[in-house]
Structure 1
Amino acid sequence: MNHDRGPNAEWRARSLRAVWHPCTQMKLHEQGQPLLPVARAEGAWLFDHEGRRVLDGLSSWWVNLFGHNHPAIRDALVEQLHTLDHVMLAGCTHAPVVELSERLGALTGLGHAFYGSDGASATEIALKMSAHHWRNRGRPGKCRFVGLAGGYHGETVGALAVTDIALFREAYAPLVRLAATVASPDARGAEPGETARDVALRAAAVLETWLDEHHADTAALIVEPLIQCAAGMAMHHPEYLRRARALCDRYEVHLVVDEIATGFGRTGTLFAHQQAGIRPDLICLSKGLTGGTLPLSAVLCTDAVYEAFYDDHVARGFLHSHSYTGNPLACRAALAVLDLFESTQALERNVQTAQRLDAAFAPLNAHARVRHARRLGMVWAWDVADAPADFSRRYHRHALEHGLLLRPIGATMYAMPPYVIDDEGIEHLARGSLAALDATLAES
């Protein structure tokens, strides 16, 4: 690709002068890692200012479900914009937030949805809600948290407390009250002869030992159900969730499921924890909630958690807010997304789409440098053996050259495309993923 002239080059240059991009070493964008200027998007495809298209193999950081510029979501937003754009939710209410809360409650078996703007905000809300619940119940000592090794729950200061990613923990450690971590049930850790369930049981035993000693000051366990995405798409057996639920009940600790990335069909069921047949005490939702159109997150809880805040005294209420809490436009987009799940039978259709992608990815699965090829629902991942230290950056560049937006996590390649990817897109994704891998390894 020629990055030196034309409208794409102009937008790249203006962006580098004015925009600080997230989780990015900005200097790298001036050293052979060009930005992708996106002018418009349609379905599974992104288009630059010169008409070149790139397949969105990451669903734009896992948020896009039904494709970009979906007419049903777009029309719902336009209609809502004609009636109510925003009103503060403190002391006011409106139809979109009420209807969305009712529907999310029916889908999760939980109630009283509390809204934030993004996944990290949802984590903060859930942690504060759990600790404040125990305080209101007369047990203020239960204010610590435990998560899984390799867990990721966001990058705000509170969310970093339960995020076990060394890069973030080390950079901001002086600001963070770090939570404890226990063994991950990552199935890749299986010993010879062990199954994924065996790994889950082994990790659950570690959790049991930890809770037995620390439950008195522990408010909650937070878990990404079935897939720890930022840990390299670490997938685990649902038995871990069943054991964790039982242990949290025994030791009076809240179970918080972080479905920010795994929710809304990504793992094959609407919510990942449903595959274990459990109900959490609190659930965090975001990303796919609005189909990738507007920022919105939600935390729903059991009646028992909610009732601990129901009191005459303001100090016993849940003390959290932001100006755009429950924004009507974002809520209306989320309602349109839930409608699409029903009208398109998305979960059933995804089974067929996943089978076509499995067949297309067969050559990549068989690659000599690939280890632990795996898939859950609409998430695929491959670990690359003996990958160079800068594998992710190199692969991302080669993927763009093959018309794909893909960003490995360390030495783990993964694909999480929009549910509407068609046969052309499937072939493009599979062929380009393999070609980008070969090109990356050839230069290392």
Structure 2
Amino acid sequence: MMLSALRRRSFSSRAVASRPGLLHVGCNLRRDDPPSKQYVPNAVSVSLRSPIVQVFGSNTDVGKTIVSAGLCRAAVQSSATSSVGYIKPLQTGGDSMMDARFLHSHMDASRLTCETLFSWDTPVSPHLAAQLEQKSLTDDILVQRLSDAIHKLQPTASTLMVVETAGGVCSPSASGKFQCDVYRPLRLPAVLVGDGKLGGISATMSALDSLLLRGYDVPWIVLIEQDDLDNAAAIADRAAELNISVFALPKLPPQPTPLHDWYMAQDEIFGSLLSAISTYHQRRVDRLHAISSQAQDVRIILWWPFTQHKQNRGVLVIDSAYGDSFATFDADTTSLEPMIDACASWWTQGLGHGNPKAALAVATTAASVFNQSQHPWYKPKAIFAAPPTVSLSAVSGKQGVTVTWPEVDPAFVLHLESLDDLFDPTSRDATAAAAAYEAYVTDLLDHHVPPHAVVGALVLEPVLIGAGGMLFVDPLFQRTMVLICRRRGIPVVFDEVFSGLWRLGAPSGRDLLHVHPDISCFAKLLTGGLVPLSATLAADHVFQAFHSHAKADALLHGHSFTANPVGCAAALTALDMYDSLGQQDATPRVYWDPATVAAVGQSTRVVRAFQLGTVVVFELASEGKGYEATGAQDFIRHLRTDGIYARALGNVIYIMCSPLTTTDACRQVLQKVAKVVLG
């Protein structure tokens, strides 16, 4: 940090305990110190009761602490009753309260409360200090402690709260992860301290891009000029395009000259910065309150999907999203509260909201979009089969799988010991169930298809029918359908818009059914939910059917965003990240604890329960079924009160994570869901 040597010389003799409001917690973090509780990653609360900013630096030694002190000083001087809070989450270099002491020396200390959360003695980057001193710190604990500290200090920081980072925007935290990524769940408005030195223009704009790429609001840039370079003027035009205000401060006096006179000379500039922060904060809070109060009017203007507006009782105000969580506005407490995105943003969220790797891929190619060709759609006609469905069960105290076929044969009940058995074609292809399925499908085709008629295709959602009510179809039934249609020369199409790309714990439906389609359609998770994109895959013999010298023989169909580069960049990034899940085993990847799901399924409130890949489903006992049923709404309201944003398909509650969500996070969410469902 700039003038670090000056601060050490000038203030090292002052006793920490003698300073009112000077606090320090967490400095003695030990390797064996377990967290007091487990946290859902990225799910943190942020109070908006008073203005709060996070000070980032374009590099180390650019003056973050000097700017933080000037800002806190302006806030203390703004009125006779003002109070200010300052938090330093990470500190290295022996003197854990060095920066806090510097602030106290330049203003009325009685109205300033400082807190350092974690510190290390070694004067290096936090990730190196943590390794050298063997005092590790996870990012989840750091962010949660910072959220807790903000809530704790807010009553004594009614005028302003300042959170100062360590090093530059992309300097690592104790875990090694970039600090701009670590603090992103809080999404505090950022004051970027630019670099006034030679080369500082590029460093400042690169740091700004890094913050904007991750979804931060950066309304202000502050530079301490060096050697009459006037870097502030050089970045002013670009900053103005982004509605960013630039504040230029003159060069600091040479060391060891005290800074009291310099600060007095800059009171007007820091006062203007404080005023801009206060105005920004008030406008932000007013806007959130206005959206919350006007939500009923908005229902008349916007037509939301899958919503009966007349019965809709409320609108959730979402400020932002990150990871698996929304930041929702609570008008009663004027705070942003976390809510788990348990419906995976209508099945599209696959990488975690705000994923910087995907955002960078999109930004890299966003300038080269080219759209061409629009064609009309068509009206499909179909013969619909009634599939046998699967649920988890506990027979004689032993966990297993039950298959029923109520629409065709109410007496049909099949018990299997595990999902391994359910998805094993070698042990099931010659069973009585396979024979029953073959007879049903054959009769269905013979009855509905006239002689010499042509059946266009078999279209199916592999294993899990999403929009139909989250029906877990016996994979043997669909495998049998495919084999019969193949014998009759009927093309097979897998609709994997919902089910594909690890949604069901496998890359594709073919990995679960052990048969290959002629055509597959993918979307939703294809870009991780970042932008809309779909992909249609076809076997070579399908392609060859349209491969001709005549243009009329081609498949002249497409849409205006076919192969758009933004979507393709996002998809390539998403697919690369999904590859980290490794090779597919014989059965789907497990995210939700099967024992807990089966236990909830034994409740009299539940008629069907199962987990499959990223999805867990509970069908509630209800007088009605389908989209018109409303029996799940009370449970949905309870879940949202408990911080879980879930949705229902009629009387079916489903919870969904992303393919990259950890099993520990799923366990914590499932425990909350089980508590609500079981009452």
Same fold per superposition (TM over 0.5):
yes
Answering whether residue 517 of structure 2 is matched by residue 297 of structure 1, we say no
Deviation at 1:66, TM superposition (A): 2.0
Closer, same or farther in 2 for the Cα pair 1:307/1:412, shift >3 Å? same
CA distance in 2, matches of 1:324, 1:305: 23
Alignment correspondent of 1:413: 653
CA distance in 2, matches of 1:437, 1:221: 37
The 3-state SS of whatever aligns with 2:648 is coil
Answering whether residue 306 of structure 2 is matched by residue 23 of structure 1, we say yes
Deviation at 1:79, TM superposition (A): 1.6
Are 2:606 and 2:618, in contact at CA under 8 Å, matched by a contact in 1? Answer: yes
CA distance in 2, matches of 1:367, 1:88: 53
Deviation at 1:363, TM superposition (A): 5.0
Answering whether residue 495 of structure 2 is matched by residue 279 of structure 1, we say no
CA distance in 2, matches of 1:292, 1:325: 17
Deviation at 1:327, TM superposition (A): 0.8
Are 1:184 and 1:203, in contact at CA under 8 Å, matched by a contact in 2? Answer: no
Alignment correspondent of 1:85: 368
CA distance in 1, matches of 2:540, 2:488: 19
| Cα-to-partner distance string for 1:114-133 (whole Å, 9 max, x where unaligned) | x99xxxx9xx6xxxxxxxxx
Answering whether residue 575 of structure 2 is matched by residue 338 of structure 1, we say yes
Are 1:212 and 1:251, in contact at CA under 8 Å, matched by a contact in 2? Answer: no
Deviation at 1:221, TM superposition (A): 0.9
CA distance in 2, matches of 1:327, 1:271: 23
Query: Identity across aligned pairs (percent)?
Result: 26
Answering whether residue 460 of structure 2 is matched by residue 180 of structure 1, we say no
Answering whether residue 427 of structure 2 is matched by residue 189 of structure 1, we say no
Deviation at 1:41, TM superposition (A): 0.7
| Cα-to-partner distance string for 1:364-389 (whole Å, 9 max, x where unaligned) | 33433223321222221122224574
Alignment correspondent of 2:472: 235
CA distance in 2, matches of 1:274, 1:352: 12
Alignment correspondent of 1:403: 643
CA distance in 2, matches of 1:45, 1:221: 38
Deviates more, 1:187-196 or 1:44-53: 187-196
Answering whether residue 504 of structure 2 is matched by residue 264 of structure 1, we say no
| Cα-to-partner distance string for 1:263-305 (whole Å, 9 max, x where unaligned) | 0112221012222221101111111110011111111111111
Alignment correspondent of 2:440: 206
| Cα-to-partner distance string for 1:149-198 (whole Å, 9 max, x where unaligned) | xxxxxxxx63xx4xxxxxxxxxxxxxxxx422122132353435534766
Are 1:189 and 1:199, in contact at CA under 8 Å, matched by a contact in 2? Answer: no
| Cα-to-partner distance string for 1:59-89 (whole Å, 9 max, x where unaligned) | 11111112111121111112222xx431136
- Pick from 451, 454, 463 the counterpart of residue 217 of structure 1: 454
Are 2:505 and 2:588, in contact at CA under 8 Å, matched by a contact in 1? Answer: yes
Closer, same or farther in 2 for the Cα pair 1:34/1:201, shift >3 Å? farther
CA distance in 2, matches of 1:346, 1:76: 25
The 3-state SS of whatever aligns with 2:535 is strand
Closer, same or farther in 2 for the Cα pair 1:316/1:77, shift >3 Å? same
CA RMSD of aligned residues (A): 3.0
| Cα-to-partner distance string for 1:220-266 (whole Å, 9 max, x where unaligned) | 01111111122322112322233222212211111111111110112
Q: Which has the larger radius of gyration?
A: 2
The 3-state SS of whatever aligns with 1:231 is coil
Q: TM-score, length-normalised on structure 1?
A: 0.70
Alignment correspondent of 2:632: 392
CA distance in 2, matches of 1:352, 1:328: 31
CA distance in 2, matches of 1:422, 1:221: 36
Name the aligned partner's letter for residue 486 of structure 2: D
- Pick from 324, 346, 351 the counterpart of residue 61 of structure 1: 346
Deviation at 1:404, TM superposition (A): 1.2
The 3-state SS of whatever aligns with 1:289 is helix
Are 1:226 and 1:236, in contact at CA under 8 Å, matched by a contact in 2? Answer: yes
Are 1:226 and 1:273, in contact at CA under 8 Å, matched by a contact in 2? Answer: no
Alignment correspondent of 2:325: 45
Answering whether residue 355 of structure 2 is matched by residue 70 of structure 1, we say yes
Are 1:263 and 1:271, in contact at CA under 8 Å, matched by a contact in 2? Answer: yes
- Considering Cα pairs closer than 8 Å and 6+ residues apart, tell me whether 1 or 2 has the greater RCO: 1
CA distance in 1, matches of 2:349, 2:610: 21
Name the aligned partner's letter for residue 377 of structure 1: G
CA distance in 2, matches of 1:237, 1:382: 17
Deviation at 1:334, TM superposition (A): 0.4
CA distance in 2, matches of 1:11, 1:420: 36
Alignment correspondent of 2:289: 6
Deviation at 1:14, TM superposition (A): 5.7
CA distance in 2, matches of 1:226, 1:353: 15
Answering whether residue 546 of structure 2 is matched by residue 309 of structure 1, we say yes
Closer, same or farther in 2 for the Cα pair 1:224/1:344, shift >3 Å? closer
Are 1:211 and 1:251, in contact at CA under 8 Å, matched by a contact in 2? Answer: no
Q: TM-score, length-normalised on structure 2?
A: 0.47
- Which 5+ residue runs of structure 1 have no aligned equivalent? 91-114, 125-156, 162-177, 440-444
Relative to its length, the structure with more helix (as a share) is 1
Closer, same or farther in 2 for the Cα pair 1:218/1:344, shift >3 Å? closer
Q: How does 1:93-242 map to 2 (within 5 A)?
A: 158=379, 161=380, 178-187=381-390, 188-190=403-405, 191=411, 193-195=413-415, 201-212=435-446, 214=449, 216-242=453-479
CA distance in 2, matches of 1:180, 1:279: 22
Are 1:257 and 1:284, in contact at CA under 8 Å, matched by a contact in 2? Answer: yes
Name the aligned partner's letter for residue 48 of structure 1: T
Deviation at 1:13, TM superposition (A): 4.3
Closer, same or farther in 2 for the Cα pair 1:358/1:186, shift >3 Å? closer
Are 2:605 and 2:677, in contact at CA under 8 Å, matched by a contact in 1? Answer: no
Are 1:221 and 1:255, in contact at CA under 8 Å, matched by a contact in 2? Answer: yes
The 3-state SS of whatever aligns with 1:219 is coil
Are 1:8 and 1:48, in contact at CA under 8 Å, matched by a contact in 2? Answer: no
Closer, same or farther in 2 for the Cα pair 1:359/1:209, shift >3 Å? closer
Are 2:598 and 2:610, in contact at CA under 8 Å, matched by a contact in 1? Answer: no
Closer, same or farther in 2 for the Cα pair 1:423/1:321, shift >3 Å? closer
Name the aligned partner's letter for residue 61 of structure 1: W
CA distance in 2, matches of 1:225, 1:332: 27
